[in-house]
Amino acid sequence: MIDINSSQSIPMQGLDSIISDKITHWLQGAYDTATKKEIQKLIDEKAYTELTDAFYRDLEFGTGGLRGIMGPGSNRINKYTIGAATQGFSNFLNKKYPHQQIHVAVSYDSRNHSDFFAQITADVFSANGITVHLFQALRPTPVLSFAVRSLACQGGVMITASHNPKEYNGYKAYGADGGQLTTPDDELVMQEVAKIQSIDEVNFHRVDKNIQMVGQEMDQLYLDSITKLSLAQEAIHRWKDLKIVYSPIHGTGITLVPQALKCFGFENIILVEEQIAPNGNFPTVVYPNPEEQDALALAIAKANTVQADLVLATDPDADRVGIAIRNTEGNFILLNGNQTASLLTNYLLNAWEKAGKLTGKEYVVKTIVTTHLIEEIAQTKHVGCYNTLTGFKYIGALMTTLANQKTFIGGGEESYGFLIGDLVRDKDAVISCAFIAEMTAFYRDQGISLYDALLDMYQQYGLYKETLISITKKGKAGAEEIRAIMQNFRTHTPDSLGGSKVIRLKDYEMGKETNLLTGTVTNLDFPKSDVLQFITADGSIISARPSGTEPKIKFYCSVKADLPNKAIFKQIEQSLETKITIIMRDLGM
């Protein structure tokens, strides 16, 4: 047993000396006894790999805040890393808004310890003289964004790790516009957090008078506001009995999605009972991610039992939505994020056009790795379409920039996030669920299903097939391997992919686009980001991007073909799937 009260550095066999020194610092520093006991237990068990991952670096406060595995250590989510992040954020806010009473909103999701981390966050803000609007109970991420704007706050924090596995938690920081922090504020907060060299610099001493609780009044304001966005109330009234199965997958969606559907006018909402209760262990799924088929298995089983028309499921913080619809054979199929975003964009623009609301100042937004079908739809309607880097914070920032110039209709990203209207500055599964149901009712009113609407869209614009392939590389070695993969692609650009010559390379990290046929290099008007895009002669687009929140490298493959008639949809789709398989093989993945 190591004496944790010793003032000497503790040598630990099998561990790097720098890591040993860090562990010693935690064992002898101003950390609570429970934390020290957890570390000691790992030492006694000689869990050197786990200790290395927990201490080999400081958990970085990145451009999206914090996200990591919960537990003791400098590279883990715990009271101290959350506290340091909040102290740094507080220091930034006090510098940016001198001589003002600063307000922040704080909310949290259903993950284990989220409520505790939210309390720690509120404590530190309050100790720094900041007024905290703390939600009384768990609420979706978009409601936190809405509250920041509604309460005229200068900032906000959402405790969530989105759709990550149960071991994870995180900390998302928001600015005064209700969007996640962007340049330069994100970098300035990162600098303030990095300045904190000791836990003794974090003020954990709660000041009760600086904390105000947020209750159901915010729910009602939010619901009243989003209901006004509805575009098809007559169709909803005729199809108010549409059978909708909904699952919150043990998350925050249960607090507002059913209510939002009812406010829009739907009366036949069937909940997946096994997944109603918020539970950070997510006992019925491996991953609480609506992108995964297994996460919707119970909802689809329920839908088949009750003969439902639509399946909706949201992730733990209810900013992403997955849906299942019936095909022509009556079987439920899952739509991916690109399909859902395209259907919503097509519906919204058609509805706005029919209502005579398109004036030439409207726009939609997508990310660079999201389907180009959205651009095609927007061009047909003479609506502007902007591209941003991956991450909804860039969409939110663009909305803020254009707020007094143009009208935002909707926007989204391939990772199952979409937003309708400008009430929020983050992806919003609550609003999206309501509009997906509305869209289903609208098409049903025209005598077609949502699946029919999908095929009609493909016939008009072409069949776009997008696939995301994620490759996980855990720990320090994994991070190094991902960097090596990206570097290899930069220095050895593939000659062809899927049988088509690679003719352009976009390197968002270098800010350059290279025409590989002529050698011409042009600048990309985007912030730097570690993303590579290969564009082939036949229009295929393949993007490689390390995840900013997970130990993964992601490949986004987009291919396209004409769909002359709906009868050959499956045949054309299969040929595109085969092409994507060949592309990934050509990439060596």
CATH fold label, 222-461: Alpha-D-Glucose-1,6-Bisphosphate; Chain A, domain 3 (3.40.120)
Domain 463-586 has CATH 3.10.20: no
Q: What does the alpha-carbon distance between residue 568 and residue 587 come to, in Å, rounded to a whole number?
A: 29
Residues 259 and 219: beta-carbon distance below 8 Å: yes
The number of angstroms, rounded, from the C-alpha of 528 to the middle of its chain's C-alpha atoms is 19
Q: CA dihedral in degrees (397, 403, 407, 412; nearest 10)?
A: 10
Q: Find the radius of gyration of the CA atoms of the chain.
A: 24
At residue 2, the pLDDT reads 39
Q: Give the largest Cα separation in the chain, rounded.
A: 77
Looking at residue 295, what DSSP letter applies?
A: G
Domain span(s) for CATH 3.40.120.10 in the chain: 76-214, 222-461
Residue closest to 229 by CA, chosen among 466, 409, 14, 443: 409
Q: Residue 452 class from Cβ within 10 Å (0-12 exposed, 13-18 middle, 19+ buried)?
A: middle
Q: At CA 461, angle to CA 458 and CA 463, rounded to 5?
A: 45
Give me the pLDDT at residue 89, please.
98
pLDDT at 548: 66
Q: d(Cα 106, Cα 61) in Å, to the nearest integer?
A: 18
pLDDT at residue number 549: 61
Q: Is 470 a catalytic residue?
A: no
How far does the chain reach from its first CA to its final CA, in angstroms?
A: 46
Res 203: pLDDT: 98
Q: What is residue 8's predicted lDDT score, i.e. its pLDDT?
A: 45
Helix 450-461 vs helix 429-445: crossing angle, to nearest 10: 90
User: What CATH number matches the domain at 76-214, 3.40.50.300, 3.40.120.10, 3.50.50.60, 3.30.390.50?
Assistant: 3.40.120.10
Would you state the pLDDT for residue 64? Answer: 76
pLDDT of residue 7: 42
CA distances in angstroms from 341 to 68, 253, 400, 554, listed in the order given: 28, 19, 21, 19
Positions of CATH 3.30.310 in the chain: 463-586
Instruction: State the 10-residue block means of pLDDT for the chain, 589 residues long.
Output: 43 76 92 94 90 90 86 96 97 97 98 98 98 98 98 98 93 97 92 93 98 98 98 98 98 98 98 98 95 95 98 98 96 97 98 96 97 96 96 95 96 96 98 98 97 97 93 80 90 92 95 94 92 94 83 91 94 95 90
Specify the pLDDT at position 550.
Answer: 67
* Amino acid 65: pLDDT: 87
Given the residues 90, 107, 162, 558, the one annotated as active site: 162
**Phi, psi angles (nearest 5°) of residue 388:** -130, 170
What's this model's pTM, rounded to 2 decimal places?
A: 0.93
Cis ω before 184 (30° cut-off from 0): yes
